[in-house]
Amino acid sequence: MSNHEKQKNFSIFEEMEKYGHEQIIFNYDKATGLKSIIAIHDTTLGPALGGCRMWNYDTEEDAIVDALRLSRGMTYKCAVSGATLGGGKTVVIGNPRKDKSDEFFQALGTFVETLKGRYITSTDVGTTSMDFVCAGKQTKYVVGLPEEYGGSGNTAITTAYGIWKAMKATAREAFGTDSLEGLTVAVQGLGKVGQLLVGHLHDEKVRKVIVTDIFEENVNKVKEMFPDVEIVKPEEIYGVECDIFSPNALGAVVNDHTIKEFKCKAIVGAANNQLAEDRHGDMLQEKGIVYAPDYVANAGGLIQVADELQGFNKERCLKKADLIYDTLLQIFEMSREQKIPTYKAADILVESKIEKIGKLQNKFIGN
């Protein structure tokens, strides 16, 4: 089907109805050429929070679908981490290597400001904390700023920490012990999170780390820091012999093709929306692969920026990230007891939490 035909069949309201999105805002700034979409999924728990992804989308439909999927993931991630925040996301259509400037992100800031705190933004793939220093000149509704600007700094640190904890919980479920010592872990994507994760794995004395990235400079950097890593080509990573596969690049890496290739016993990584479709989570369960639901495992970054909204405290933030381990154990237990895939168990946990909090009555607390 051509892109034009695809767009003719695409209904934005049908998409919003499917998962209950509240609002989509399209922003265009003539002076800078900024084209962005802000999707707000659910604000039952509080203002929507979610990073801003900058990507060269093939079609506008791809950009809208990404904003919808990612913002919904943020609702679930906020709820499962105990944050009093809802889910939102921005996508910026453009090339992050060419199209950025101070004015470009200031333009984004002006649009975020119009929402008066209903949506708070931050970094994601293709954007950096410095981009939000620029956006922050026009809005106070930004988090994930560098420490020298009063922010909590690089969120990848807490994300990688959380993935490491998630991996330990998943190892306990899959291998009966939460020590990663002696295991082989395949890491896809050696960006901000992937690089730090390899460091944690090294400290845990895993047997072998197999790595890949589409950018050679990232692979070389990791090889320099950890000479023992084994490097494979990007297309080879799914089929390598390993205990744990860790996707830390982009989403939809668990799909009809990769499932046939997987030789791992568990999947734990930072990438958002790892399952191309829900049914792939069912297929993983049938294959006996323990899947750590992405929005639970990768909540570290969200936990950090949510903490920044309260005045960042690193110790408190890491303590909250430690809970990723406990939450995953709870989800694995639900999955076993109810005989349902782990992604469904996580969704049930979150949806019941949102429903209960949504029904809370405001109580009179005196003057």
Instruction: Indicate whether 201 belongs to the interface with ligand NAD (CB under 6 A).
Output: no
Residues that are catalytic? 89
The rounded distance, in Å, linking the Cα atoms of 7 and 164 is 40
Instruction: Indicate whether 301 belongs to the interface with ligand NAD (CB under 6 A).
Output: yes
Cα–Cα distances (Å) from 353 to 18, 81, 202, in that order, read 20, 11, 36
The rounded distance, in Å, linking the Cα atoms of 18 and 270 is 25
Per the CB < 8 A criterion, the answer to whether 196 and 222 are in contact is no
The correct pick among 190, 266, 297, 321 for binding ligand NAD (CB under 6 A) is 190
Torsions phi, psi for 86 (to 5 deg): -100, -170
Q: Give the shortest CB-276-to-ligand NAD separation in angstroms.
A: 14
Q: Give the shortest CB-241-to-ligand NAD separation in angstroms.
A: 18
Site for ligand NAD in 213-242 (CB under 6 A): 213-215, 218, 234
Q: Give the shortest CB-315-to-ligand NAD separation in angstroms.
A: 19
- Known binding residue 126? Answer is no
Residue whose C-beta lies closest to ligand NAD:
191
Of the candidates 158, 128, 129, 99, the residue with the CA atom closest to the CA atom of residue 299: 158
The correct pick among 63, 125, 268, 324 for binding ligand NAD (CB under 6 A) is 125
Q: Give the shortest CB-210-to-ligand NAD separation in angstroms.
A: 12
Q: Give the shortest CB-176-to-ligand NAD separation in angstroms.
A: 28
Rg (CA), the chain: 20
Site for ligand NAD in 150-179 (CB under 6 A): 155-156, 159
Q: Give the shortest CB-274-to-ligand NAD separation in angstroms.
A: 9
Burial code (b: 16+ CB inside 10 Å, e: under 16) for 121-140 equals bbbbbbbbbebbbbbbebbe
- Known binding residue 268? Answer is no
Instruction: Indicate whether 274 belongs to the interface with ligand NAD (CB under 6 A).
Output: no
The correct pick among 47, 50, 86, 189 for binding ligand NAD (CB under 6 A) is 189
Q: Rank residues 12 and 232 by Cβ distance to ligand NAD and give the closer one.
A: 232
Q: Give the shortest CB-353-to-ligand NAD separation in angstroms.
A: 20
Cα–Cα distances (Å) from 291 to 40, 132, 245, 311, in that order, read 27, 33, 10, 34
Instruction: Indicate whether 50 belongs to the interface with ligand NAD (CB under 6 A).
Output: no
Helices (H), the chain: 3-8, 12-19, 60-80, 102-114, 129-135, 155-175, 192-203, 216-225, 256-261, 278-286, 294-297, 300-308, 314-338, 342-358
Per the CB < 8 A criterion, the answer to whether 281 and 275 are in contact is yes
Instruction: Indicate whether 122 belongs to the interface with ligand NAD (CB under 6 A).
Output: no
Cα–Cα distances (Å) from 26 to 92, 112, 152, in that order, read 10, 11, 29
DSSP conformation class of 254: B
Instruction: Indicate whether 192 belongs to the interface with ligand NAD (CB under 6 A).
Output: yes
3-state secondary structure of 173: helix
Instruction: Indicate whether 212 belongs to the interface with ligand NAD (CB under 6 A).
Output: yes
The rounded distance, in Å, linking the Cα atoms of 268 and 242 is 13
- Known binding residue 85? Answer is no
The correct pick among 12, 16, 232, 250 for binding ligand NAD (CB under 6 A) is 250
Which of these ranges, 14-22, 56-64, 256-264, 268-276, lies near ligand NAD under the rule CB under 6 A?
A: 268-276
Q: Rank residues 138 and 159 by Cβ distance to ligand NAD and give the closer one.
A: 159
Q: Rank residues 217 and 337 by Cβ distance to ligand NAD and give the closer one.
A: 217
The rounded distance, in Å, linking the Cα atoms of 22 and 319 is 32
Cα–Cα distances (Å) from 293 to 180, 254, 272, 281, 325, in that order, read 19, 12, 9, 9, 12
Per the CB < 8 A criterion, the answer to whether 262 and 239 are in contact is yes
- Known binding residue 288? Answer is no
Q: Rank residues 125 and 266 by Cβ distance to ligand NAD and give the closer one.
A: 125
Residues that bind ligand NAD in the complex, under the rule CB under 6 A: 124-125, 155-156, 159, 188-194, 212-215, 218, 234, 248-250, 270-272, 298, 301
Pick out the residues of the known binding site for NAD(+).
Answer: 189-194
